[in-house]
Structure 1
Amino acid sequence: MIRRPLALVLLLLLAGCDLLGLPDPKATAAEGKAIGAACRQAGRALEDCYQLNPAVPKAAVFDGWREMNDYMTEQKLDIVRPTLPPVLPKALRKKPATAGSDAGEAPAGDKAPASSPAPQDNAHKG
């Protein structure tokens, strides 16, 4: 008599396993392959792809990277350079310089870009 309600409770608990947030190995592998393929198509090195995606299994990333490499080689496709800069994970971002360190240097945001030309004074043209 007690077995039936116990079995029902266990069945209900097991039915909600996907709500526990446990990763699905097949989904994780598929996501890793997709990430690896995207890295290869963008011309990103495999090691960079590993660093940018530390939570994804390296084997899955490599499989996707290799499959895309083979496909691109067969089809003679060029890489597609990303137009936006990559957003690094928080663990890989550089910490901002504190006021006490490097007192002689200005913060990176205060420096003028190297490609901008120096301003010219047009009043002295004659």
Structure 2
Amino acid sequence: MSDTTNDTEKRELGQDFMPKFDAQGLLTAVVLDDSTSSPLMVAFMNEEALAATRESGIAHFYSRSRGTLWKKGETSGNVLTVKSILVDCDQDALVLRCTAAGPACHTGATSCFYRKLEGDTLFPAIS
């Protein structure tokens, strides 16, 4: 087996955390409400955001538009307290199960997923 095969096998079947960042150095992070499993938001994490999240227990992300680390709720107070982190099979995406201190969406909605698509029209999603 080549080193790549060994890394793939270790990443997919082993117990070591070996995050697989994309070409931009990012992982996709899906945030779920810990008590309801409802989706709250999707964001991206770089190595610094992941480390800050694991160290503090508060969700941190990487803003692609601003090119910087941001702590969710830093200005609004609507922090996301991480209860657990789930890692997908090839370790390039995470699910953060969190308790939200307030609305998760910058619009003030509880979740960023507050609309549903029917045909080509968006309608309010029923909670």
Q: TM-score range by the shorter chain?
A: under 0.3
**Rg bigger for which structure?**
1
Please report the TM-score for the alignment, with normalisation by the length of structure 1: 0.23
Please report the TM-score for the alignment, with normalisation by the length of structure 2: 0.23
Which one has the bigger strand percentage? 2
Which one has the bigger helix percentage? 1
